[in-house]
Chain A
Amino acid sequence: MEPRHTISVWVDNIPGVLSRVTGLFSGRGFNIESLCVAETMDPAVSRITIVSTGDEQITEQIIKQLHKLINVITVVDLSEQEHVEREMALVTVKAEDKSRAEVLRIADIFRCRVVDVSPHTYTLEITGNHEKIGAVLTLLKNHGILDEVRTGTLAIQRPKKD
């Protein structure tokens, strides 16, 4: 597998910018595994987190090409530094009779929150890194997943310790 890179992109918060960014990826044949975007505390700026795969040369190109877009303010390859990653998933799982307790146990072990309950289902909120969410989903699959939705990866740099 090609290495994964988590790239943070600060952009002008104006119409069309997201399509410039994604258009660049499709036009140049770069990969996007996931993408998250929202306004920052400065409403004129949005921050996009992109997870992409590719070797060193491709990642270097991705970063340079992103920089070239006029509306891109800064690009940081977080994979190059210490950082924290989180994803979130919402899952509705079948939970009847015996399995009701089992699903709750799994939720508890992985520190998921129950955000909705019905007589036959639980809806769980899972946060964690990519691997953890994958692991929880695999466990829940045995009970029957009725619906599921995931965010892309969010990532933030760790402050320097000194």
Chain B
Amino acid sequence: MKKMTGAEIFLECLKREEVKHVFGYPGGVVLDIYDELTRHPEIRHILVRHEQAAAHAADGYARASAKVGVALVTSGPGATNTVTGIASAYMDSIPIVVFTGQVPTALIGNDAFQEVDIVGITRPCTKHNYLVKDINQLAYTIHEAFHIARSGRPGPVLVDLPKDVIQARTVPEFPKEIKIRSYQPTYHANPRQVKRALDLILSAKKPVLYTGGGIIMSGASEELKQFAEFLQIPVTSTLMGLGGFPGDNPLWMGMLGMHGTYCANMSISETDVLIAVGARFDDRITGKLSEFAPHAKIIHIDIDPSSISKNVVVDIPIVGDCKDALHQMNDLLRVKPPKDWAAARAPWLDTVRDWEKKHPLTYAWSDTVIKPQYVVEKLYELTKGEAYITTEVGQNQMWAAQFYRFKRPRQLMTSGGLGVMGYGFPAAMGVQMAKPGATVIDIAGDGSIQMNIQELITVVENDLPVKIAILNNSFLGMVRQWQQLFYEKRYSATPMAAPDFVKLADAYGAVGLRATKPEEVEPVIKQALETPKPVIMDFRVEPEECVMPMVPAGKAMHEMLLA
């Protein structure tokens, strides 16, 4: 074999990992990689307009495609600009690999131009990271980086590439297999624990399935549905888990937590056996910890042992892949003597349905002002619930979660753990790259969209017909809501001006549409969906609408504020 440069090895490695798309931004130390890219037409590079967007786009791409998303940036500011995107992917366990250029090894530590210790900076927000100092380690390190990103509990991995390593030459060895003695995720759930858990579930009178992003990551939706339907157990999920169980299934109770449904939150307060699957008892879910699921024995299935008994001490822990554990339970159920579960479960399901009827997700209709919830309902209706939805952060995110009834896993991409305003639009670019031809909608706020609005030109340039639906309330709405409820309406720094989004879209070469009255909502959405170009829909909505129900911070789940 002949000698190859670091840049050539890098691209060969991407090819071997079957990377088709890279989101990136060039700079001095990665010039050789960008030069080499010209000889690899099979890898498409999407030039973003800010490196944060490259990381979010890789994240959206990864979620929609179930592959590893890839970003490539230069050293120093290029690298630091990706940190928010990496941290968000870390919190949400999304597999991305971020390649950063670095100054030549001889200059590292000298405060060289555009030098930053990005490995040090991202140590606490990556699953793992590397500084490659020797070209002979390059191919192996890249392979290991992809392996770590996608295996076990997935997460972002960063690989820092000094310029001299990119330029050096060697006869590379491309590894086939990865063996890391210190990293062997447990996929197979312990059958004895599974059996213990199932026995407990079978004895339950009021069981609840509480599911999270792990269902989607492990591809366990089918197993979950089988399990829930067989035993007639009602299901709720976290924001990250939406789509893991069909939103139109009769057993579906809606999202739980701070802005969860009355029904889902009450079920947690009443359940006697809580089955947590691929969820991590985040504080936005549990509310006041000491009153979370007070009557329940808790079973927790998770691939990450450190998620178990971190916030809530559980009775039966099961470490393993959600899909494997549910599969085992379904197998066990098949050989049990038959039982009429529908009848056995009727009293509990009746209670659940009563809660649903008593306080359904709802809002006060207006003939004159557009209600933001109505926009989301209409988006759901007019896309037949089939669109890929990304969200920004704030009220827009919660209304998207509440009123778009996600049917399939990987249909919703949202920055759940870190809550990054500015995530949704670049993520939508990533989704559209992964799913050409699909309808991709960013449900946005007027504040959030301004955080990565520069990407409008990226979608125009790359013919990505992403749709942005701005629920424009002229406020940093979610913060305003807290000010309204807990700070006597002192609206400090939350009223906010925005540009004319229709003109802005036009300036970028996209299409801008506006609706100011309820009857304009439907035609605007229809027109947007029919337009084969990027479109901004500016919905002027009720400025002081609140997301309800709401469990105030530190309160127990049954202490919800209702509409």
Contact = CB atoms under 8 A, between A and B. Distances in A.
Interface of A: 11-12, 16, 19-20, 23-24, 27, 57, 60-61, 64-65, 67-68, 70-74
A57 B308 CA distance: 11
B148 interface: yes
Given A64-B305, A68-B304, 17 more contacts: A16-B123, A16-B131, A19-B120, A20-B123, A23-B123, A23-B124, A24-B124, A27-B124, A57-B309, A57-B313, A61-B310, A70-B128, A70-B180, A71-B182, A72-B182, A73-B181, A74-B182
A61 B306 CA distance: 6
Contacts of A24: 124
A123 B468 CA distance: 74
B113 interface: no
A19 B123 contact: yes
Given A12-B182, A73-B182, A67 B123 contact: no
A67 B305 contact: yes
B304 A16 contact: no
Nearest to B127: A70
B309 A68 contact: no
B313 A70 contact: no
Nearest to B144: A70
A68 B306 contact: yes
24 contacts: A12-B182, A16-B119, A16-B123, A16-B131, A19-B123, A20-B123, A23-B123, A23-B124, A24-B124, A57-B309, A61-B306, A64-B305, A64-B306, A64-B308, A65-B306, A67-B305, A68-B305, A68-B306, A70-B127, A70-B148, A70-B180, A70-B183, A73-B182, A74-B182
A80 to B, nearest CB: 17
Interface string B124-155: 10011001000000000000000010000000
Nearest to B182: A73
Contact of B306 (A12, A16, A67): A67
A65 B124 CA distance: 12
A125 to B, nearest CB: 35
**Residue picked from A12, A23, A68, A71, most chain B C-beta under 10 Å:** A68
A13 to B, nearest CB: 12
A90 to B, nearest CB: 32
A57 B128 CA distance: 25
Interface string B180-192: 1111000000000
Nearest to B129: A16
B423 to A, nearest CB: 23
The main secondary structure of chain A at its interface with chain B is helix
A70 B309 contact: no
B143 to A, nearest CB: 14
Contacts of A11: 182
A57 B310 CA distance: 8
Contacts of A16: 119, 123, 131
A11 B119 CA distance: 18
Nearest first, the 10 closest Cβ-Cβ pairs linking A and B are A64-B306, A73-B182, A70-B128, A27-B124, A64-B305, A70-B183, A65-B306, A68-B306, A23-B123, A72-B182
Nearest to B120: A19
Contacts of A74: 182
Nearest to A20: B123
Contacts of B180: 70
Nearest to B148: A70
A113 B313 CA distance: 49
A70 B181 CA distance: 9
Nearest to B119: A16
Contacts of A19: 120, 123
Interface in B294-324: 304-306, 308-310, 313
Nearest to A61: B310
A70 B128 CA distance: 7
A61 B280 CA distance: 14
A67 B124 CA distance: 15
A162 to B, nearest CB: 27
Contacts of A71: 182
A23 B183 CA distance: 19
**Residue picked from A16, A65, A70, most chain B C-beta under 10 Å:** A70
Contacts of B123: 16, 19-20, 23
B309 A60 contact: yes
Contacts of B131: 16
A70 B179 CA distance: 12
Contacts of A60: 309
A70 B304 contact: no
Contacts of B304: 68
A65 B310 CA distance: 10
Contacts of A73: 181-182
B128 to A, nearest CB: 4
**Residue picked from B128, B181, B182, B309, most chain A C-beta under 10 Å:** B182
Nearest to B124: A27
Contacts of A68: 304-306
Interface string B480-503: 000000000000000000000000
B184 to A, nearest CB: 11
Contacts of B309: 57, 60-61
A74 B181 CA distance: 10
A72 B184 CA distance: 11
A20 B182 CA distance: 14
Contacts of B305: 64, 67-68
A9 to B, nearest CB: 11
A25 B182 CA distance: 19
B100 to A, nearest CB: 15
Contacts of A23: 123-124
A57 B306 CA distance: 11
B260 to A, nearest CB: 26
B290 to A, nearest CB: 14
A68 B182 CA distance: 9
Contacts of B306: 61, 64-65, 67-68
Contacts of B119: 16
Contacts of B313: 57
Contacts of B128: 70
Nearest to A15: B131
Contacts of A70: 127-128, 148, 180, 182-183
Contacts of B183: 70
Contacts of B182: 11-12, 70-74
A151 to B, nearest CB: 26
A64 B131 CA distance: 25
A64 B309 CA distance: 10
Nearest to B153: A68
